Structure 1
Amino acid sequence: MAAPEPPPPSGTGFFGMLSFRRSATAVASFDPAQDDELLALDALQAHVADRLSALSAHAAAAAAASTSSALSLPFLAKLLDAVLSSDAAFRAVLAVAPVAAAISRPPSDRLASDLLDRAVKTLDVLNAASLTLASLRAAHRAALAAASCLLAPSLHRAHLARARRAIARLFPDDARVATAGGGGGGCAPSPSSRTMRALSFSVSKNWSAGRHMNAMAAHLAPPPTQATAAVAGAGSGLGLALYTMSSVLVFAMWALVAAVPCQDRASAAVSPPVAPPKQAQWAAPMSALQDRIAEEWRRREKKGSFSGSSAPTAGLLAEMQAVERAARDLNSLLEEIAEEQEEEEGHGIVGEDRAREVTERAEELAAACRALEEGLAPLERQVRAVFHRVVACRAEVVRCIDHSTRAATANPASSASGVPPQHQHSF
């Protein structure tokens, strides 16, 4: 009588039994190709989870340290760096021949096609974000000009007037509203507003960041577990890898659109665009990041609806918010001083106490401008790097699809039967 089969380790439960059996199978198979496949697929999931967890911790620390948005220039730089490193891990998956050979078979074929489409839309968002970041330099120059002319040794009424004109260029919408309310019938747009509109039109006159993001997030769903389980052997986890990269791209572009004021950003969905399955290793940190950004977005939209300002479309970038906040505080002080001088009809020299207040506010604005300037150039380089990497990754996916299709055509019997081809380590 044969000895009974020993039970699995106690306390593992159903999923523990699956894990135990998978490990036993992997050890017994002694198949280097299958081991490479499993290692690459697991490395991608673990890498995305680690990078998103670090981002979530960074955002939580930033929110705890101040009341500003967690979407700062350092955060965006870390986010785009996570996209670059996740792309490298995904390319390692495609480098495993059995995985790449399965990319033209269901359900991976549909997910690969969706990833290619999202890659093109990602390039559009990156292009628009790059142009918007360049246009922020016009706002930075206006704010810095306002701060610089108020740091003179002795302040005169002319310095205050020059600073107010510079701040008016920083907030052209407010100037138009004020002129229309005063019966002026509107005013000509400022140079900075013309620059912003021209950059937006260079993407496309009717291009909408909101509609673009809604299209990117549409039909984003994990591969069906039944179909994935049916494709045993090589490439069985490729569907999850494709879905993971699509999710990373959608989330990163949504955060970028939330941070920088891209064209027609207001129509973007405020709700989180990715709903990852709870079983995914990276589901919890991505959901936490999405909820934090969505809450900040809703809070800013609500504040803008009550104030009547352009807050809903101004973006959530912390450094730009600091510049705007410091400029508005400085402008309010300058208006108070201008009203006092009109009543007193003085000689135009600002009093010592008021000059001290103006200098303090101007220094705050100058510090905010420095923080914005220090982070803009690195982020612009990072946006360009992601752009070129997405182009290269898309080309690699197209190459794998073409190779997989030609291999299936050359061996129609195995393709029709659903049996994966033998491991091939060169393609």
Structure 2
Amino acid sequence: MKKILLSAFLLASVTAFAQDTMNDDNDQRDREEIPYNQWSLDFGIGAHHPHNLTAPGFFVNNPSFFSGDLGVRYMINDKFGINLDLGLNYFENADKEEDQSGEFQTNAYRAGLEGVVNVGTILGFREWTDTFNVLGHGGIGMTAIRFDEDINDETDWTGHFIVGITPQIKLSDNFALNLDASIVGYLSTDASLDGTREQARTDFDGFVSNYTIGLNWYLGNKEVHADWYNGSESARISELEERVATLETNNADDDQDGVPNYLDRDNTTESGVRVDNKGRALDVNKNGIPDDMESALDSRYAKKGAIASGANGVDGDGLIKQLINDGYVNVYFEFNSTKPTQYSLSSINFLATYLRDNPEVSATLTGYADEIGSEDYNKNLSERRAKMVNDILVATGVDASRLSYNGEGEDDSVEKSSSQARQLVRRVKFQVN
């Protein structure tokens, strides 16, 4: 028993020593957020058996019930921790006739401080299992022994030591099943456990063996508790690889506008369009069309005043009608969406203005989809896109009787593997007559 007591003191000392000798490691973790939870509540209930603690003629069942345990545990790191241990042992006389025990009922309430060692981490369990672990614990504390008042109305206060081992089975990120086997030794007692015999016990021949089953409830918002954290070199390499992959993804530039994805507020800007530092196309006049696209349209199709003056032998209304029917005025959509892109709203306004200025003209709206997805789905999607534009035009004041719409389904005229090309066919085009 003296060896057991020495082991308990050594275990508590190791915890204190570990806190001092791992300052460098903890300083490093202070600079980087600790990647695991450190707090837990540990519950257990079960049976026990006292050894050499009762007077002659008093016996207990083997095993006896009830034993309960509650621990509030803090892991200093993934190998060592401390635990505030609270426990209860209820002892009563054996109920078997052959034992012929005197009657008694005794409660022992204990509180103590323990050192905890994550045996599984130290021995490298994380290299071969993520569901099984072993903790070791040991420490000292105080116990209050309350006897049956009819036998002994005094409370026997005594110091105790405790040492034990706790296998664990992980149930989830928040809970683990634990099985604990511990020895509790009383440093001195004034009476036998049944309360009938006065004694001054100063040796360690008498002790209680505890066996409980319970749960570890892990507290915190991290994905893993220190009990299960894998801090091995291979795990760190894997974590670094994940970080590198994340950096590569974040720093990619899908729309090639010079702004990485993680800063880009609009990751679908057209190639060659100037953007601000958040990846949004420059649009000084706030008309929904990127400035670079607007100036290109002006230079390619018509200058200001050309329409009104009938440049190139075409009257203004005739040129507008030609532009619309030749497919230069379209409404575009994002993938699998019926909501027009922001820059396409000016095209809807363009057609609405033309229809208001030419009340005898009607328009047909034809929707299209790219080739991603089934034909039936894309047929329906293209019709819903056309209807959406139809509804917007009606909302602007265009008479619904002047509009008709339909969906043509997939437009396979562009390269299916090119996301930029597919953007061009996700559209609604106009035909005026």
- After TM superposition, the score normalised by the length of structure 2 is 0.21
Which one has a larger percent strand, Structure 1 or Structure 2?
A: 2
TM-score, L = length of structure 1: 0.22
Please state which structure has a larger fraction of its residues in helix. Answer: 1
Larger-gyration structure (1/2): 2
By relative contact order (CA 8 Å, sep 6+), the higher-ranking structure is 1
